[in-house]
């Protein structure tokens, strides 16, 4: 097989592998990126010990090979070590190419609900941050990935609705810190049954463009823990994790709404160098140890996961809990996740040990069992070619440098050309940043005071309610207590109003801030930056407000529940009272019957009836018959007549007479008693059993005064209900005013 064939073979294998990754059969792609020698390294005339071949093989030349022959530990190392990866990139690879080859394919899965993770691994100064974040002119994987994500979202927006939320955190010395929050506190990890691993209380910002996310990253990166080490002037001492949560909702839903979630994690790991290598002591050394601990744990997890894949044995233990980093990335590494690791190395001879460690680490993650031996043969051929090319380029480079310095009159522009403009911009930026932070700090302070007052108001309201609820409390004591509570409430309400007004004023002033930002005429990137500072602060105050409202509505619903319980008790009480009254009514009805039966004269009937019917004045009811003349309603006694019923069948011709009936005098009461005679059956008769009697007197017979029990009952019930209502009103007044 010639070189061309085996290259084609390589590419074919790689494409197949990426296809398998896309289909979920594999879960990790490992790439190596070797950066160019930096200025310092060139100045020190350091030479390169790394060669990259065919975008796949890394050859590492051991500079200490000869001297190590006496070292027992290093004796078996080869002079040239070869490693094969899915991709290996040399210093000529552009930011866009590296993105397109390693990460672009992940995005199709992300908008389908699959998790994806991209790591940058490597020693300090090897180029991790450059690969992940890049520079404004040459953005790295994070920004390009987000661009593609928003592009795909736009392409799919007619089928799905997407929400993108971003959080940015760092893990420093095994502590998690929110990089998008002003508050400097450690956050906890929690395992949520539906959402997987979550960082409790982290700021999540909904973003709609890459620019917004990059501006947030800029803010976050400023908060990141950095220190100068010997190897890197601005060495990141923490692992930085940018997590992008994507919520995918189908626009046309069936009866059951389906929402997919995916998490895209982009991780810029802390330098993997050994603590000894950077001459670090004390705290720096502890940092180094912690960094190494979590990276080791990450390596163990990756190895366990690849073994699960290899052996098809899902029972193998994955030590996620060994570090915060692996706990956080648990569902990004395992399950439905596709992981890309970009291991960064420096070609310099001085970093040989770090490079060797990095390549071994990456190799553990991706132990490609392809025909390495055959490749090595070809590698050696290539190696010679590459060495020659590099030699040529070096010479060319030196020549150009000499030409440049020989040229008279050409002064390279100073690096800080245009510094006046930059200085003004920076000053404005700093000034605006301070103003924004001061403003939002004030908002936060007012918000907190307002919430404190609100909390006290709720507390007092609760106390009032409690005092009212306890029936055993002495009424006067309760009244005194409530009066003093009310006094407090009044002053608190006043305070609350003052704070609310101040808060409203501050919110109005946000517009002034925005105008100030506009008037500062900042460059586009500075403007983006300051707007993200503004947005971050705004989101923070708003999220505190939302958190408070949620807490308050929780409290309110608890309070409402208490009130409902109390009212339910009241209803029970009322039902009990009504039942009691119903029984009394029943009893009263029976009693009435008995009383009516025992009434001795019409006067008594009238009095009793009046007692029970005092408010019914205009109704004339004859039971089962026609109404009695209602013209006789002047005196209470006459009124009684209108309510007395006579059976129409008994006295068909006497209706008129009855209607003209005048209440009997004392004189004829006797005769009524003696000569009572009616043909009324028992059910209609008030008290007479006799069917004989004088027709003359029958008008005066008590039998004619049949009481309307239904009416009585209705009236009684009406009265009792009125009394109950009055009672309930009194109760309400007592408890709620």
**Binding residues for ligand ATP, per CB under 6 A?**
35-36, 38, 122, 124-130, 232, 235-236, 270-271, 344
- 609 among annotated binding-site residues: no
SS3 (DSSP) at 93: coil
Question: Taking the complex as a whole, how short is the minimal distance between the CB of residue 226 and ligand ATP, in angstroms?
Answer: 7
Q: Which two tokens stand for residue 356?
A: 């060797």
- 625 among annotated binding-site residues: no
Q: Closest CB to ligand ATP among 58 and 164?
A: 58
SS3 (DSSP) at 122: strand
Residues 250 and 446: their CA atoms lie apart, in Å, by 41
What helix, strand, coil percent values describe the chain, rounded to 5?
A: 55, 15, 30
- 225 among annotated binding-site residues: no
Q: Which residue is nearest to ligand ATP (CB)?
A: 127
Beta bridge mates, 342 = 31, 120
- 588 among annotated binding-site residues: no
**HEC per residue, 559-627:** HHHHHHHHHHHHHHHHHHHHHHHHHHHHHHHHHHHHHHHHCCCHHHHHHHHHHHHCCCCCCCCCCCCCC
Question: Taking the complex as a whole, how short is the minimal distance between the CB of residue 271 and ligand ATP, in angstroms?
Answer: 3
- 129 among annotated binding-site residues: yes
338-345 and 116-122 as β-strands: parallel, antiparallel, unpaired? parallel
Dihedral, 271, 274, 277, 281 alpha carbons, nearest 10: 90
Question: Taking the complex as a whole, how short is the minimal distance between the CB of residue 38 and ligand ATP, in angstroms?
Answer: 5
Q: Closest CB to ligand ATP among 235 and 447?
A: 235
**636 close to 605: Cβ distance less than 8 angstroms:** no
Q: Closest CB to ligand ATP among 182 and 289?
A: 289
Q: Closest CB to ligand ATP among 236 and 659?
A: 236
Residues whose CB falls within 8 Å of the CB of residue 502, separated by 6 or more in sequence, listed in order: 446
Residues whose CB falls within 8 Å of the CB of residue 411, separated by 6 or more in sequence, listed in order: none
Which is nearest to 658 in space by CA: 691, 706, 618, 610? 706
Burial of 152 (0-12, 13-18, 19+ CB in 10 A): middle
- 128 among annotated binding-site residues: yes
Residues 658 and 666: their CA atoms lie apart, in Å, by 19
Q: Closest CB to ligand ATP among 34 and 628?
A: 34
Q: Closest CB to ligand ATP among 350 and 368?
A: 350
Question: Taking the complex as a whole, how short is the minimal distance between the CB of residue 485 and ligand ATP, in angstroms?
Answer: 59
Question: Taking the complex as a whole, how short is the minimal distance between the CB of residue 275 and ligand ATP, in angstroms?
Answer: 13
Q: Closest CB to ligand ATP among 38 and 306?
A: 38
- 31 among annotated binding-site residues: no
Question: Taking the complex as a whole, how short is the minimal distance between the CB of residue 266 and ligand ATP, in angstroms?
Answer: 13
- 520 among annotated binding-site residues: no
Question: Taking the complex as a whole, how short is the minimal distance between the CB of residue 94 and ligand ATP, in angstroms?
Answer: 9
Q: To 5 degrees, how large is the angle CA 387–CA 393–CA 399?
A: 140
Question: Taking the complex as a whole, how short is the minimal distance between the CB of residue 142 and ligand ATP, in angstroms?
Answer: 12
Q: Closest CB to ligand ATP among 126 and 686?
A: 126
Known binding residues for ATP: 122-129
Known binding residues: 122-129
């Amino acid at each position: 097989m010639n070189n061309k064939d085996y290259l084609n073979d390589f590419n074919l294998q790689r494409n197949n592998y990426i296809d398998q990754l896309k289909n979920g059969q594999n879960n990790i792609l490992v790439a190596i990126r070797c950066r160019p020698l930096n200025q310092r390294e060139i100045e020190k005339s350091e030479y390169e010990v790394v060669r990259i071949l065919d975008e796949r093989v890394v050859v590492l030349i051991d500079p200490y090979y000869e001297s190590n022959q006496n070292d027992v530990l290093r004796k078996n190392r080869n002079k040239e070590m070869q490693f094969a990866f899915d991709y290996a990139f040399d210093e000529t690879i552009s930011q866009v190419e590296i993105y397109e080859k390693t990460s672009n394919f992940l995005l199709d899965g992300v908008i389908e609900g699959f998790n994806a993770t991209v790591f940058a691994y490597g020693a300090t100064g090897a180029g991790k941050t450059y690969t992940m974040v890049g520079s404004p002119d040459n953005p790295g994987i994070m920004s390009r990935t987000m661009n593609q994500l928003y592009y795909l979202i736009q392409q799919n927006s007619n089928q799905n609705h997407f929400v993108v939320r971003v959080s940015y955190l760092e893990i420093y010395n095994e502590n998690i810190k929110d990089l998008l929050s002003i508050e400097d506190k450690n956050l906890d990890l929690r395992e949520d049954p539906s959402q997987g691993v979550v960082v409790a209380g982290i700021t999540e910002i909904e973003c709609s463009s890459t620019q917004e996310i990059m501006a947030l990253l800029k803010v976050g990166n400023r908060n990141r823990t950095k220190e100068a080490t010997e190897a890197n002037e601005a060495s990141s001492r923490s692992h930085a994790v940018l997590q992008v949560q994507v919520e995918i909702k189908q626009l046309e839903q069936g009866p059951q709404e389906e929402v997919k979630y995916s998490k895209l994690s982009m991780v810029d790991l802390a330098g993997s160098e050994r603590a000894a290598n950077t001459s670090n002591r004390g705290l720096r050394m502890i940092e180094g140890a912690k960094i190494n601990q979590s990276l080791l744990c990450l390596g163990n997890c990756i190895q366990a996961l690849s073994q699960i894949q290899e052996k098809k044995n899902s029972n193998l233990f994955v030590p996620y809990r060994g570090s915060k980093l692996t706990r956080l990335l648990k569902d990004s590494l395992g399950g439905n996740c596709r992981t890309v690791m970009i291991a960064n190395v420096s070609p310099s001879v001085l970093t040989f040990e770090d490079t060797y460690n990095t390549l071994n680490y990456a190799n553990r993650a991706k132990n490609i069992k392809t025909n390495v031996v055959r490749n090595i043969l070809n590698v050696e051929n290539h190696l010679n070619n590459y060495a020659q090319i590099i030699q040529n380029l070096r010479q060319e480079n030196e020549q150009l440098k000499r030409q440049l310095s020989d040229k008279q009159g050409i002064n390279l522009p100073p690096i800080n050309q245009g510094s006046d403009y930059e200085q003004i911009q920076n000053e404005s930026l700093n000034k605006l940043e301070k103003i924004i932070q001061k403003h939002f700090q004030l908002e936060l302070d007012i918000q907190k005071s307002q919430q404190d007052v609100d909390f006290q108001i709720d507390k007092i309201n609760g106390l009032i309610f409690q005092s009212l609820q306890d029936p055993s409390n002495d009424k006067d004591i309760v009244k005194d207590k409530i009066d003093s509570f009310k006094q407090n409430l009044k002053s608190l309400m006043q305070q609350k109003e003052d704070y609310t007004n101040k808060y409203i004023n501050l919110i109005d002033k946000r517009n002034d801030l925005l105008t100030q930002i506009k008037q500062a005429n900042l460059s586009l990137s500075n403007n983006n930056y300051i707007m993200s500072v503004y947005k971050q602060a705004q989101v923070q105050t708003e999220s505190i407000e939302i958190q408070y409202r949620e807490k308050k509505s929780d409290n309110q619903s608890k309070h409402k529940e208490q009130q409902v319980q109390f009212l339910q008790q009241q209803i029970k009480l009322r039902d009990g009272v009504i039942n009691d009254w119903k029984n009394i009514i029943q009893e009263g009805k029976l009693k009435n019957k008995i009383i009516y039966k025992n009434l001795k004269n019409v006067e008594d009937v009238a009095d009793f009836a009046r007692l029970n019917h005092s408010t019914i004045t205009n109704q004339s009811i004859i039971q089962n018959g026609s109404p009695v003349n209602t013209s006789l309603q002047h005196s209470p006694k006459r009124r009684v007549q209108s309510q007395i019923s006579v059976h129409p069948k008994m006295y068909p011709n006497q209706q008129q007479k009855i209607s003209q009936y005048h209440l009997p005098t004392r004189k004829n009461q006797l005769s009524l008693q003696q000569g009572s005679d009616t043909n009324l059956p028992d059910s209609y008769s008030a008290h007479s059993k006799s069917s004989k009697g004088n027709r003359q007197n029958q008008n005066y017979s008590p039998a004619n005064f049949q009481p309307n029990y239904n009416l009585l009952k209705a009236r009684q019930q009406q009265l009792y209900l009125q009394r109950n209502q009055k009672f309930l009103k009194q109760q309400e007044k007592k408890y709620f005013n």
